[in-house]
Amino acid sequence: MTSPDTLPPSMLWATHLARDRMRSVHTVRAYRAVAERLTAFLVGHWAGAVDRAALGRTSTADLRAYLAYRRGQGLGNASAARELSAVRGFLAWANADAEPP
């Protein structure tokens, strides 16, 4: 069995959304996809691994760079707003004092 410490942050957050926040399967899938895109972007942006602690240090400049990257991929206004909402939730979870799920 995989230890929670070895799971990617996006999977831990998805588990939290499904189990603790009781979000729908569709919401969890969409939000996890956003978390995975952000994490993949940050791996390249920071040139290093991204764990929950690193996510807690994400700066405004990092988020602006991510949104510019996503806009360059054709992300529209409504989708950008939804994506930013998911990113805020993901980063708030990463900054929470609670133990990972």
* 8 A C-beta contact, residue 69 and residue 41: yes
Beta strands in 4-98 (DSSP E): none
Distance CA 94, CA 51 (A): 9
Q: Map tokens 């230890």 to a residue.
A: 3
Q: Is the pLDDT of residue 39 over 60?
A: yes
Helix (H, G, I), strand (E, B) or coil at 52: helix
Whole-number pLDDT of residue 14:
97
Give the tens place of pLDDT for each residue, 49-100.
999 999 999 999 999 999 999 999 999 999 999 999 999 999 999 998 645 5
| pLDDT tens-digit map of 7-30 | 899 999 999 999 999 999 999 999
Q: How many beta carbons lie within 10 A of that of residue 50, not counting itself?
A: 22
